[in-house]
Chain A
Amino acid sequence: MSNAGSYEERLKDFDWSIAENELGYHKGDLINIGWYCSDRICLKGKADKMALYYEGYDGIEKKYTFNDIRLAGNTIGTFLRNLGLQNEDRICLFMDRIPELYLSFLGILKIGAIVQPLFSAFGDESLFVRLEDAQTRAIITQRKHLPKVRKIIDKLPFLEFVIIVDNDQKKTLEKKELPFDLESASPVENFEIFPSVAETPSLLHYTSGTTGQPKGVQHVHYSIVSQYLTTKWILDLQDDDIYWCTADPGWVTGTSYGIIGPWSMGITQCVLDAGFSAQTWYKFIEKYKISMWYSAPTAIRSLMKAGEDIVKDFNLTSLRHLASVGEPLNSEAVIWSEKVFGKPFHDTFWQTETGSIMISNFPGMKIKPGSMGKPFPGITGAVLEPKTFTPIPDNGKIGLIAFKPGWPAMMRGYWKKEEKYREKFVNGWYLTGDRATIDKEGYFWFIGRDDDVINTGGHLVSPFEVESALLEHPAVAESAVVAKPDEIMMEVVKAFITLKPGFESHPDLELEIMNFIRKKLSSMAMPQEIEYMDKLPKTRSGKIMRRVLHAKEWGEEIGDISTLEDD
């Protein structure tokens, strides 16, 4: 029997107080995610239960009980507090998936500061714009990422502390840099947790948009109410489960469901800090007897590509429930997983801004392969007519996915971008920027983005950011970036460029530009293909018409080109 039971029954008289009661929270109480994910679990008698199994690519294994993570959070919190860091300071986590990433998350929240997680594959430019925007006071990182921080630190006057968790004395530290070694630090038993309340800021996750720089999505401690209940009902975590969320905490899935959800329930989770290979992943599932697996369509399609024979080499019978997030899960992947693992992946839909799952295939509900499922109880979802922003009454008609605001984990704003935040709401609806249809049984079916943002392997990439970075390459005169279809990643970045006088397209230039973007922004922002053009399609007023290039890549109708400039 699943935790949720019947979806239809759950819809009746739903109230978020169900989660509040289970968490022992009453309106007006103090609420701190760091405490809920560690101290509270210990107080409930699970201090010795395993909270985290970690395995690195080099075979290093570590494990932590809930008491261990409570102490680690206290110890890191004390270290940060002794530096003078305090509530509402932005502290960036810039690490691979090592234990210190997860444990620092708790420590930062315990002092009331705001966690700013950033994906460690970001290049120096991506890192810079996010740290500058947030006026981040401290960054916690690893020795291997220090060169990127050093490149930009002089341009970041607000950044006072660069904390290195694995300094082995080989590297001479420079100004603002200081080491912190959790293993040799004295564990702090008693710690005064910052008295945060429901609306106290907790996280600042950055997300990319079509235009402008990335936006910092602000969340608060009360988000745990949504994250707890959706973890319990949709991911269906049960006390003896061993859980694996493959997402990196640099992205919202990795914090909402890679830290807060499972640990607020006192669930044991596993972390694998290694690159993807089918063999490595299956071996990991077998070794730790993982029972609940939350992954992404790109990974599932990569496993499909690796074939079915390899699956037979491993004992994967521990798997009980599977779910997916990040991009639409194609029906072939659902059918394949049912055939190979004996269980279907349950698609879930949500965003950095929503903070928790909004639409999903509930455990026990009939799965329609390729469908996103239905809204979580308490969530009012609709597809809106794009001109009037009113719900479309006809089944099967494409509209904008929107939700009635008010669930606990919903973002509270875009950092210092009030106007951008307000633009997300029309007619009392929160607009997701995605398009879908709803069938007659109420299932949502994803169609695509409503803007130019590229979803590659579940990561959103702003074409504007890539185009701007391309223009910084000495050979590039103009650039336009669009999504290109890809069998595994769903979409990948493709760049169209014109060259400055004196430069010619030669065999090495494409590679040079690719690596330039990879190092500056990130590997997922790197164009997987570059096409040289004599001129880019533009309107008569000189604006590059991305949609013409997009249509070319997708084999679609170009549409109205009356504003296209003449030759």
Chain B
Amino acid sequence: MEKMKNEEMKDLILNYVIKEYLEDEDKEITYDTPLISSGYIDSFSMVSLLVFLEKRFQIKIPPSKASPEAFDSVNKIVELVNQFTK
């Protein structure tokens, strides 16, 4: 798979987060909005986000790396994904 550009990746993840996890339609989030520490995504839901990332980017993120801190914003998620894509 051709490596996706960071900007494309950010938009893809941001759109997915908005579609799947944000019930408050008035709320606007950015690439830096805290996702886990804000409570938008809880620790149980993190698993579905992890599955999405692994499937979409064809990577395997080990449990030790899938921490609340690493998932806490779109920018941080992109950093994490980049560690595992060639």
Contacts and interface: CB of A to CB of B under 8 A. Distances in A.
Interface string A508-530: 10110011001000111010100
A489 B42 CA distance: 13
B9 to A, nearest CB: 18
Nearest to B64: A305
B37 A523 contact: no
Given A518-B45, A523-B44, A510 B72 contact: no
Contacts of A276: 36-37, 42-43, 68
A173 interface: no
A526 B47 contact: yes
A103 B42 CA distance: 25
B2 interface: no
B41 interface: yes
B52 interface: yes
A275 B42 contact: yes
Interface residues of A, number: 37
B30 interface: no
A143 B47 contact: no
Interface stretch (A80-88, A144-152, A184-192): A144-152
Contact of A511 (B25, B38, B51, B68): B51
Contact of A57 (B26, B38, B48, B68): B38
A279 interface: yes
Given A274-B37, A514-B51, A279 B26 contact: no
Given A144-B23, A147-B25, A276-B68, A511 B39 contact: no
B25 to A, nearest CB: 7
A523 B68 contact: no
Contacts of B69: 277-279
B20 interface: yes
A446 B54 CA distance: 37
Contacts of A57: 34, 37-39
Interface residues of B, number: 26
Interface in B1-48: 20, 23-27, 34, 36-45, 47-48
A457 B37 CA distance: 17
B67 interface: yes
A514 B47 CA distance: 9
A534 B55 CA distance: 23
Contacts of A559: none
Nearest to B45: A523
A96 B39 contact: yes
B26 A170 contact: yes
Contacts of B45: 518, 523, 526
B23 A145 contact: yes
Interface in A480-538: 489, 507-508, 510-511, 514-515, 518, 522-524, 526, 528
Contacts of B47: 514, 526, 528
Closest 8 pairs (CB-CB, A-B): A144-B24, A523-B44, A57-B38, A275-B39, A523-B45, A277-B68, A275-B36, A514-B48
Interface of B: 20, 23-27, 34, 36-45, 47-48, 51-52, 55, 67-69, 72
9 contacts: A57-B38, A58-B38, A148-B23, A275-B37, A275-B40, A278-B68, A279-B69, A489-B44, A526-B44
Interface of A: 57-58, 96, 121, 143-145, 147-148, 170-171, 273-280, 302, 305-306, 456-457, 489, 507-508, 510-511, 514-515, 518, 522-524, 526, 528
Given A302-B43, A456-B44, 9 more contacts: A121-B42, A275-B37, A276-B68, A306-B67, A510-B51, A511-B55, A514-B48, A524-B44, A526-B44
